[in-house]
Structure 1
């Protein structure tokens, strides 16, 4: 098979935090099959989403564009499925392409998947049990647990191919998205007390108003509906918070365990087909997730646990096992990287950079900073304020511009813009905002200018209230 391009297999989960993967040093679970991808290839340590919400991240992965370029800025944005994607480019290069699983980019004319020879996608968020699958033939109820159903359907499509053309398969899982529902085979695997993260009791003392306003605290905002059971009566507030965290993590991690086992099945299937060496296998998630970090669940913020995406990559024929890749990459870079591996041309409108050379051992930096923007200002569910910022290898600068725009459910309140700055080398958990510390004045000035420059390079408009850097 060395005379043809590699097969491409991208397995994408939903809300799977890097720190719920043992290859990343998880203190709460073990994921041996995911770890094995990194052992055969590389673990990417500095992979970040550019907008930590499901729909925008998925659009950026496909199109290789930031949210302001592809038009998918919020959970409620409409995706133009006719946009060029890495799937359309692979088709043009002779690949057979398929997607099975969570689409979440709209449904109906102009929104259904394009650029795929085969597609079966969940309707909306999808169901954990007996999910509805939409295809060109209509809607089918697929009996079984969603993680198993999607894995089976994806492998079956590849097995149905009769020619020798290379294939690209996307298996896009629902899990471990809320409301977390493990299957019978994995329920109960995480019943021992799960340690609280070090920042569970974060008081946000140095932060802007955004952290104080966010309505996603485990203690205050996880509901019986989320947890599928009422808490014991008469628990003291601290006991109740601990009980909610334990229940949340049990279900979340049991869902992750099913994902891990499904990855093991796929790897075994590739081995039996004799294709494991010639397949670019990538495992990632559309964004990270707070696992009690800073007292939160959910995502949306630019903070590390939300912004970081796991990324494990193997391609034994071309990528030798090696140390973790620590150069900065984003979900916008996925498209060009996949096309680079396939020897296919990227579309001229694709942003981002290929990080294939870094996967193959180059230590040259891909970029000096990555850009992030969250648009859904003060939405009625999470109340996270709109913001953008940049992350370098050491610092993170954030501007909460808070203009009350960007989401139909916004309360349309207006807030005073606020800055945050974190020194990730000295403060990796981001608990000390140094934006107003005189010792960081020059760092802030330089980062503010780089933010402004990066917005210009990417074609995004700064908020009118953002001061022009001197």
Structure 2
């Protein structure tokens, strides 16, 4: 009996030692990183943020099982520069990619390179849009330029290949294939899964055509904005009514070639249609031909035409979102099936926000809320309690230091963003930033949005449009969330204007962007 007791005690001790060892090993196991990003996905069209337009159960699942950042913003609201900010953790003037006419310097420090140094396998699939070839990745398979929705060409680690199918499905397939077949499973991974969708021209997958045909979306209250007191806003070229092309954007490429436009984009619209194969065209025609026929018969003009274009835009855009959400569900299910979900930080964001008819617009670029603000959802199973709302102001320069911090890498001093891990862990940060800096450079260029920079606090926003213009705008976001009433120069706002000017100069010094002092010379 005594021998048996001794034997049992020994076995228990061994089991306890083994369990402690396993627990220690699990605790020390590096977290994987899955960074999912779409292009031009507005926060308004994610049901975790806004339930007016669409249900996105799979994207919502990330925040339902993690955290939703309710005040997430970009540093420069345009695709290439925004991506450069994320990769480097630095504002545009520091990473050198200020607009899409520039070329990203791939020799510079990026978070994938720093993760590689500590043993991470890194990969990017989908949209790159930084002109130079990716560096810092063990594997890359990227769309060429903006990429096509149907039967797109990819560059697979330097080799050009066409892949048949729909871009969102293909990018997801490539991601799952790398996770399952191509990576070294003995190493932690960092995978950038970057969709083309829902970038212009919002071409839905054939299975999603007509998904919103029974829905009539209410016009935004400021759809017919007259831009009083906002000169730069009045001179843009991103109006749904005036600048959205019937053929290129709204798929009115009629077989009779009777619909013509003056934007210069008509030919591209017909070319995109011609990329479809015969089976894809059959489904496409079955849906769009009746719409084209009805449009011709109605001969719309004025407000009727503007509102028709808005509805078509919303239907196509939201149909594209359905595919994005469905494919995110595929990836999450794969991670769960393979036992990877609980050891992976899952991030979903967009490279910037987007206008869904607010101010009568589509596109982005302005520092106004709809394009400046962006979705950000994170699932971090080791720290976040479920369904957490994080209200602090965060910016896309914060992603790089967050990923490095998660991996236990010391964040280099020249990175301008800050790690979001303390917020994810629920730590109270009294010294968290109280303001954000923004700078947009791409003018003159498509959509004619003037160059501008500005500062945003919790309540106020100050913007300076410069270069070929010298105009200031001030908004009280509490009283005027739609930014319709420019308060700059109005009586009673002298004190807040002076405070914001001071804060703006402080941020420009902090980020070493001394444009304010340069403009005074």
- After TM superposition, the score normalised by the length of structure 2 is 0.84
Which one of the candidate residues 138, 141, 147 is aligned to 1:120? 141
**In 2, Cα distance between the equivalents of 1:228 and 1:137?**
33
Q: In the alignment, is residue 285 of structure 1 matched against residue 350 of structure 2?
A: yes
Distance in 2 between the 1:129 and 1:47 partners? 31
Cα drift, residue 312 of structure 1: 0.6
Q: Is 1:203 aligned to residue 226 of structure 2?
A: yes
Distance in 1, Cα, partners of 2:404 & 2:386: 21
CA distance in 2, matches of 1:286, 1:88: 21
Contact 1:86 1:346 in 2 (8 A): no
Q: Is the 2:350–2:374 contact (alpha carbons within 8 Å) kept by the matching residues of 1?
A: yes
Q: What are structure 2's unaligned runs of at least 5 residues?
A: 1-25, 253-258, 260-294
* RMSD of aligned alpha carbons: 1.4
1 CA distance for matches of 2:158 and 2:434?
Answer: 46
What secondary structure does 1:251 align onto?
A: helix
**Shift, 1:378, TM fit:** 3.4
Shift of 1:467: 5.4
**Kept after mapping to 1: 8 A contact 2:442/2:451:** yes
Match of 1:407 in 2: none
Moved more, 132-141 or 84-93: 132-141
Larger Rg: 2
Shift of 1:216: 0.7
Preserved CA contact (<8 Å) 1:33 1:263 = yes
Q: 2-side partners of 1:419 and 1:217: how far apart?
A: 22
8 Å CA contact 2:122–2:136 kept in 1: the answer is: yes
1:42-441 → structure 2 map (5 Å cutoff): 42-106=67-131, 111-160=132-181, 161-191=183-213, 192-207=215-230, 209-224=231-246, 225-229=248-252, 231-232=295-296, 233-364=298-429, 366-379=432-445, 381-401=446-466, 403=467, 414-415=468-469, 417-441=470-494
Aligned length: 450
Q: CA separation in 2, counterparts of 1:388 and 1:449?
A: 14
Contact 1:2–1:278 (8 Å) recurs in 2:
no
**Following TM superposition, by how much is the alpha carbon of 1:195 offset from its aligned partner in structure 2, in angstroms?**
1.8
Q: Within 1, Cα distance between the matches of 2:428 and 2:492?
A: 31
Q: Using the alignment, how far apart are the partners of 1:280 and 1:311 within structure 2?
A: 13
Q: Please state whether the residue corresponding to 2:341 is helix, strand or coil.
A: coil
Which SS does the other structure have where 1:8 is aligned?
A: strand
Unpaired stretches in structure 1, ≥5 consecutive residues: 404-413
Output one character per residue of 1:256-284: Cα deviation in whole Å (capped at 9) or x when no partner. 11000011001100110111111100000
Give 1:236 shift.
Answer: 3.4
Query: What is the distance in 1 between the residues matched to 2:135 and 2:301?
Result: 53
* TM-score, reference length from structure 1: 0.93
What is the deviation of 1:2?
A: 3.3
Secondary structure in 2 aligned to 1:253? helix
The structural deviation recorded for 1:14 is: 0.2
Check conservation: 1:21, 1:31, Cα contact below 8 A: yes
CA contact 1:333–1:355 (8 Å) conserved in 2 = yes
Aligned with 1:300: secondary structure? coil
Asked whether the 8 Å contact 1:390–1:451 carries over to 2, the reply is: yes
